[in-house]
Amino acid sequence: MTFCQRRLQILLIEDQQCQVELLKILLESQSFFAVQLQVARTLAQGINRLQSGIFDTVLLDLFLPDGQGIPALTTIQKFAPHIPIIVLTTATDLNMGLAALQKGAEDYLVKEYLRESQIAKAIIYGLERKKTKRQLQTQIERERLMGRILEEIRQSLDLSVVLQTTVDEVRKFLQVDQVVIYRCYSPTTSRILVAAPSSSLLTSGDRRHSPQRGPDSNGEPTEPIPCQTINSLHPLPIAPITLGPRAKDGVLIVPIWQKKPHQEDRLWGQLVVRVGDQQRSWLPWEIEFLCHLSSQVAIAIQQSALFAQVHYLANMDGLTGIGNRRYLDHFLEQQWQKLAKSHQYLSLVLCDIDFFKQYNDTYGHLQGDECLKQVAKLMERVIRRGTDLVARYGGEEFALVLPQTNHQGCQVLVAHLQTIFKQAQIPHRGSIIQPHLTLSIGSTTMVPSPNMVPTELIDQADRALFKAKKAGRNRHFSFAD
Residues classed as catalytic: 396
Q: Which helix (H) or strand (E) holds 107?
A: strand 107-110
State the CB neighbour count (10 A cutoff) for residue 181. 24
Please, are residues 14 and 41 in contact by the beta-carbon 8 Å criterion?
yes
Per-residue DSSP letter, 212: T
- Give bridge partners of residue 230 from the DSSP assignment: 201
To which H or E segment does residue 356 belong?
A: helix 356-363
Rounded distance between C-alpha atoms, residue 347 and residue 444, angstroms: 6
Task: Give, in order, the Cα–Cα distances in Å from 334 to each of 117, 172, 328, 410.
Answer: 76, 35, 10, 20
Find, among 368, 359, 443, 450, the residue nearest to 401 by Cα: 443
Could you tell me which of 449, 421, 417 has the C-alpha nearest to residue 436? 421
What does the alpha-carbon distance between residue 457 and residue 393 come to, in Å, rounded to a whole number? Answer: 14
**Which of 303, 271, 268, 275 has the alpha carbon at shortest distance from 290?**
271
Tell me how far apart the alpha carbons of residues 167 and 230 are, in angstroms, rounded to a whole number: 14
Strand intervals (E) in 259-386: 266-274, 346-353
> Element (H or E) spanning 46, and its range?
helix 43-52
CA distance 407 to 405: 7
In this structure, what are the phi and psi dihedrals at residue 63, rounded to the nearest 5 degrees?
-130, 95
